[in-house]
Chain A
Amino acid sequence: MSWMSLHRRLERNAGLLIFGILLVSAVGGMVQLLPIVAGDSHPQPAEGLAPYSPLELEGRDIYIRESCSTCHTQQIRPLLAEVRRYGPYSRAEEFAYDRPFLWGSKRTGPDLHRVGGRYSDEWHRLHLLDPRSVVPASIMPAYPWFGRNAADGHGSIQARMRALARLGHPYTEQQIAEAPSALQGKTELDAVIAYLQSLGRSMDGKSEP
C-alpha cells in the first residue's frame, strides 16, 4: 500500500487517525524517557546525600509555594565562567531527593545550587524579609510573612514525610515521629533559611570544578 493511500484511509477513519497520532507521538517519548525513567539509568544519590530534614523540607515546600524557581535556578553548568562564579557544576546524583526538581529555567536572580554555607543565617534573615536592606539594587520581592507565619502551619509535615518515604526517601519512623517537635517554635523564615543552607553541600571539601 502506498503512503498516499494509507493516508487516504487514515483521513476517512477517525479511529485510525487517533491511533496513528498516538502511535507516532509516543515514539519520541519512549526513546528519550524510558532509559532515563527506568531504574538503571537513574543515578544513585550522591555520596553522603541525606533526604531533607523536616525543617529543610518545610523550607523547600515554601520555596515551591512562592515559585522561587521563577527567578532562581539550581543548576550550575559545566562552563568555566559559571563554575568560577557559583562553584562546582551540578551533578545528577545531588538531586535524588528533589521532588519535584527545581532546576529552574531563568536567572533573574543568581543560581542557588551552591548557596548553602555561602551567607550567614542572619544575612538570609535580613535578605528574605527585605532584600533591599542588604542589596540596594535588588528587585527581589520581600517576604515579610515568612517571619510572621509558623512553620508547618497546616500540620502536615508527617504526612508529607510519609508520602516521600513511600516514594523511596529513606526516612526512619523515628525521624517522622520527631518531626513536629523539630518544627516547634520555628517560623517559615527559619525553614526557608534551613533549606537554603542545605543546598549543594555534596561537593563540600571536594576540589573538582
Chain B
Amino acid sequence: MFAYFGTLRFGWRLGVEPVFLPEPTVRAICIAYFGALLTGFLSSAVVARWMAATYDASQSLGRCLALMAIVGAPLAVGSVVHLYPHAFLNVLVLVPVLIWSMFLLYRGLPIVLGTGPNRGMLMASALIAYLLVALVSLLGITVALWGSGIGPRIGA
C-alpha cells in the first residue's frame, strides 16, 4: 500500500531524476510485491513448523505464525518509508529494522516455540537461512519482472 501510493506520488527516486511509472505498472508491481510478502510470511511459518520437530519446538502452526508476526512487525512498521520511494532512504531505514527483526527472531523463538536457549539459537539460524533466501529471491523475481516489461522502460 505504502509503496503504491508513494510510487505514484513521488516516483522511484534512485538518486537521479525520479522515474515515474504508468499506474497499471505500479499496480501490477505492488500487487506482486504484496503477494511476495504474504508468501514469504506464510511460507516462513510453514518452514518453521516443518523444522520444529527436529528442534523439539512447538509444532503449532499458530505459534509459528505468531513468531513470524513478531519477527515481521518491525519490517511492517518500517515499510512506511515506502511512502517516499527514495531507494537510499529505504535502505537506511530498513537495514536496522532487518537487524532488529533478526534479533527478535533469536530472542523470541525460544519463548514462542518453547525450545531451550540452545535449540532455539540453532533453529533461529536455520530459519535465517530460509529468510535470507526468500529475501534474495524477491530481488531475483523483481528483476525478472522488470526484464519482462513490468517495470521501467529498459533497453536490454
A and B touch in the complex (CB under 8 A): yes
B155 CB–A CB distance under 8 Å: yes
Chain A: interface secondary structure?
helix
- Rounded to whole Å, the gap between the CB of A79 and the closest CB of chain B is 5
| Interface footprint category on B | under 10
Q: Which chain A positions have C-beta within 8 A of B136?
A: none
Please tell me the number of chain A residues within 8 Å of chain B, measured between CB atoms: 5
Residues of A within 8 Å of B156, CB to CB, are 79-81
Q: Measured between C-beta atoms, what is the minimum distance from B14 to chain A in Å?
A: 15
Q: Which residue of B lies closest to A79 (CB)?
A: B156
Minimum Cβ distance to chain A for residue B145 (Å): 18
Alpha-carbon distance between A46 and B156 when the two chains are bound, in angstroms: 26
For residue A84, CB closer than 8 A to chain B, the reply is yes
Give residues 136-156 of B contacting A (CB, 8 Å): 154-156
| CB-contacts of A89-116 with B (<8 A) | none
Q: How far is the CA of A82 from the CA of B156 in the complex (A)?
A: 8
Taking CB as reference atom, which chain B residue is nearest A81?
Answer: B155
B155 / chain A contacts, CB cutoff of 8 Å: 79-82, 84
Instruction: Show the binding face of A for B, using Cβ within 8 Å.
Output: 79-82, 84
Q: Report 9 cross-chain contacts, Cβ distance below 8 Å, ordered by A residue.
A: A79-B155, A79-B156, A80-B155, A80-B156, A81-B154, A81-B155, A81-B156, A82-B155, A84-B155
Given contacts A80-B155, A81-B156, 7 further A-B contacts (CB under 8 A): A79-B155, A79-B156, A80-B156, A81-B154, A81-B155, A82-B155, A84-B155
